[in-house]
């Protein structure tokens, strides 16, 4: 196996696929990239057994095809030190030594026989396939992934639920304290639903930013495969039934609050410095078109408050929220103004972006309140 390739193009490909590799692999071979050369296409695979990412790159002046397992850390560390220049990579198929040569020098790193690299999980005959718009998928993952959980007891909450129906795509993320639901109109006649784990969802989000064409998605009861122009991502789906998220979304919160999102976000960050580090509780007292934010830590005799102007239609209300969750929610809304719908101090608050014109998508964020001392 011998070929010439651009150093920066190879580094970019390996850095992207290398994000799959786990720090605690069960099989030593998973610390390696699988590099396969067929014709002028170099295929690089990385896997952690659950998720597998394949990247493709067109290379120059191929002398001989082949495959090798290359140690991920060593090859990435060496490539990071090169400026943009052509590299000649040669593999000795007797001892699997990988030699990288350039105009003024060369280096050798030990590779391994690729025969022991795990095979790709194939989808069964009952698989479903559909095409999906790249922007819709990126938005769906971006809006919801921060709300997913790290819960070993409830694994269904550790990913993004995707529900495709004729005419719409719904993406949902929740950790039982906060919930985000993203709905978008879509030209589609297919029905599909699955839970995508947050690791492949994050990988997919980063790769999709470089894509323009629609993505081919295929899945069965256990695995999903996303086919892009220069990458293929396959992953194990989370098994189980996603919670009935519509049942927890309030349909009639009578108290409606319009406020400048950045002002509220910055006010919460300032006041939260004095909140109890265990609870991160911030109290919001809302009345007469004003919000008073209060936080205190009795143990260290610290307290802070700030009053902001808003537009409020409803009864005076006092409600407590975890400041870190409030910051996450407000940071993931893109509009200058946010609408907050409230019922009382014990029921969930609903956060919605406020747009000037009609949108083809809708985002709803829900946050459970915390108990406050009267």
* 284 closest CA partner among 314, 252, 246, 248: 314
Which CATH architecture does the domain made up of 128-172+185-240 adopt? Roll (3.10)
| Whole-angstrom distance, CA of residue 36 vs CA of residue 15 | 17
8-state DSSP, 237: P
pLDDT at 60: 82
Residues 38-51 have pLDDT tens digits of: 999 999 999 999 99
pLDDT at 10: 95
State the pTM of this model. 0.90
| Whole-angstrom distance, CA of residue 37 vs CA of residue 219 | 27
Domain boundary assignment for the chain: 2-116, 128-172+185-240, 249-367
Which CATH architecture does the domain made up of 2-116 adopt? Roll (3.10)
Q: Which regions in the chain score pLDDT beneath 50?
A: none
DSSP-based three-state secondary structure for 56 = strand
CA dist list (Å): 221 to 123, 125, 160, 237: 9, 11, 16, 8
| Whole-angstrom distance, CA of residue 117 vs CA of residue 150 | 29
Bridge partners of 55, per DSSP, are 44, 231
* 149 closest CA partner among 118, 192, 112, 180: 180
Please enumerate in sequence order all residues whose Cβ is within 8 A of that of 266, keeping only pairs 6 or more positions apart, or say none. Answer: none
| Whole-angstrom distance, CA of residue 329 vs CA of residue 324 | 9
Structure tokens at 100: 């990288």
Contact 164, 193 (CB under 8 A): yes
**Count of CB atoms within 10 A of residue 55's CB?**
23
Chain centre distance of CA 208: 11
Q: Using alpha carbons only, give the angle 250, 147, 175 rounded to the nearest 5 degrees.
A: 75
pLDDT at 266: 97
DSSP 252-283: ---EEEEEEHHHHHHHHHHHHTTS-TTT-EEE
Question: What CATH number is given for 249-367 in this structure?
Answer: 3.10.150.10
Bridge partners of 25, per DSSP, are none
| Whole-angstrom distance, CA of residue 16 vs CA of residue 211 | 14
pLDDT at 90: 95
Residues 92-106 have pLDDT tens digits of: 999 999 999 999 999
Chain centre distance of CA 366: 19
Please enumerate in sequence order all residues whose Cβ is within 8 A of that of 303, keeping only pairs 6 or more positions apart, or say none. Answer: 274, 294, 295, 296, 297
* 345 closest CA partner among 239, 263, 255, 216: 255
């Amino acid at each position: 196996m011998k070929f010439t390739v651009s150093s920066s193009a190879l580094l970019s490909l390996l850095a992207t696929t290398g994000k799959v590799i786990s720090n605690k692999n069960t099989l030593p071979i998973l610390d390696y990239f699988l590099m396969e050369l067929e014709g002028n296409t170099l295929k690089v695979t990385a896997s952690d057994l659950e998720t597998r990412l394949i990247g493709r790159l067109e290379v120059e002046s191929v002398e001989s095809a082949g495959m090798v397992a290359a140690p991920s850390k060593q090859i990435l560390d060496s490539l990071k030190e090169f400026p943009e220049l052509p590299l000649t990579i040669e593999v000795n198929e007797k001892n699997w030594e990988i030699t990288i040569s350039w105009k003024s020098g060369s280096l050798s790193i030990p590779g391994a026989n690729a025969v022991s690299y795990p095979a790709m999980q194939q989808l069964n005959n009952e698989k479903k396939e559909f095409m999906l718009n790249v922007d819709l998928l990126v938005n769906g993952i971006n809006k919801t992934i921060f709300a997913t959980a790290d819960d070993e007891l409830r694994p269904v909450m550790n990913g993004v639920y995707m529900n495709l129906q004729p005419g719409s795509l719904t993406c949902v993320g929740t950790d039982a304290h906060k919930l985000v639901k993203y709905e978008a109109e879509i030209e589609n006649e297919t029905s599909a639903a699955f839970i995508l784990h947050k690791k492949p969802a994050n990988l997919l989000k980063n790769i999709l930013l470089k894509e323009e064409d629609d993505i081919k998605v295929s899945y069965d009861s256990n695995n999903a495969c996303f086919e892009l122009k220069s990458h293929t991502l396959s992953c194990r789906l989370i098994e189980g039934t996603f919670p009935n998220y519509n049942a927890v979304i309030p349909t009639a919160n009578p108290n409606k609050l319009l406020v400048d999102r950045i002002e509220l976000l910055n006010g919460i960050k300032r006041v939260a410095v004095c909140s109890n580090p265990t609870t991160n509780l911030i109290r919001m007292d809302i009345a007469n078109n004003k919000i008073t934010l209060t936080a205190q830590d009795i143990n260290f005799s610290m307290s802070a408050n700030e009053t902001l102007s808003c537009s409020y239609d409803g009864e005076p209300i006092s409600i407590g929220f975890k400041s870190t969750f409030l910051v996450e929610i407000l940071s993931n809304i893109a509009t200058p103004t946010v609408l907050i719908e409230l019922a009382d101090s014990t029921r969930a608050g609903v956060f919605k972006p406020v747009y000037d014109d009609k949108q083809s998508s809708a985002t709803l964020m829900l946050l459970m309140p915390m108990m406050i001392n009267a």
